[in-house]
Amino acid sequence: MIISGDDTRRRGLLLLLRLPWLLVKQRPRFSISGMLLVVAVAACCAAYVGAEVRRENRLREWASDLQQRGVNVMGLAGRSVFVDFFGVAPTDEDFARLRDLRTDRCILRFRRGYLDDERLLSLAPVSGLVRLSFSAEDVSLSAVQEFERRTPGCEVLVDREQLWSRRTAEAAATAR
C-alpha cells in the first residue's frame, strides 16, 4: 500500500495553526477585535486539520479492512484512492464508505459484472473523478458507452481498440 503526501500536508496545516501565534508575536499591539480575528482563524484551522485527520484515519481503517478481506489496496495518497477488487466482491459497506469519504480521485478495478451495478452509479456525483478499470474481455463496448452516458463523473478505463476489434469480429461472424 502506498501512502504519500500526508507529511507535507500535515506540516502545512500545522504551520497554519502556528500562523496566528506568529502574528501576535510579531505585532503585540493588536486590538481586541484583531485578537478575536486571530483566534477565529486559529479555530478554523484547527477544525480543518481535525476533520482531515479524521477522514484520513477512516480511509486507513477502511484500507486495512479491505486488505484483511484480500482486496489489493494499491494506493492511498491524500484524497486519492486506488483499490483493486479484481477477485473479491465489493460490499455495500465499501460503496457507502467511498461515498462518505468524498475522495477527489477514485480508481476502482473490477472483474466482470459490476458495470451494470447500481452502486457504481451512486459514486459518480459525490466522489470527484471516478475511474473504473476493467479487462476488455469482461465488458462490451456498448455497456461501457451506456455507463459513461449515465454517469458523467465516471470514466471507464478499458482497452477500447480491443473492444472495437472484438465488436467488428462479432459483427462479421453474424453477417456470415
3-state SS, one letter per residue, for 54-107: HHHHHHHHHHHHHHHCCCEEEEEECCEEEEECCCCCCCHHHHHHHHHHCCCEEE
pLDDT digits (tens, 9 = 90+) for 32-43: 777 777 778 878
Question: Residue for cell digits 459490476?
Answer: 114
Same domain (yes/no): 47, 100: no
Look at residue 2 and tell me whether its pLDDT is greater than 60: no
% the chain with pLDDT above 90: 0
Instruction: Specify if 156 maps to a domain.
Output: yes
**Domain ranges, residue 12:** 1-55
3-state DSSP assignment of residue 117: coil
What is the predicted pLDDT for the residue at 7?
57
What is the predicted pLDDT for the residue at 125?
54
Lowest mean pLDDT among 26-30, 117-121, 160-164: 26-30
Same domain (yes/no): 48, 89: no
What is the predicted pLDDT for the residue at 1?
38
Instruction: Specify if 95 maps to a domain.
Output: yes
pLDDT digits (tens, 9 = 90+) for 96-139: 777 777 666 677 777 656 666 667 766 665 555 566 766 666 67
Average pLDDT estimate for 53-71? 82
- How many domains does the chain divide into? 2
% the chain with pLDDT above 70: 55
Same domain (yes/no): 50, 93: no
What is the predicted pLDDT for the residue at 5?
47
Same domain (yes/no): 48, 114: no
Average pLDDT estimate for 55-72? 82
Same domain (yes/no): 40, 91: no
Same domain (yes/no): 110, 148: yes
172: cell is 462479421
Same domain (yes/no): 86, 171: yes
At 13, the pLDDT band (50, 70, 90 cuts) reads low
| Mean pLDDT rounded to a whole number for the chain | 71
Instruction: Specify if 28 maps to a domain.
Output: yes
Element (H, E) at 155: strand 154-157
Give the integer Cα–Cα distance in Å for 119 and 165: 30
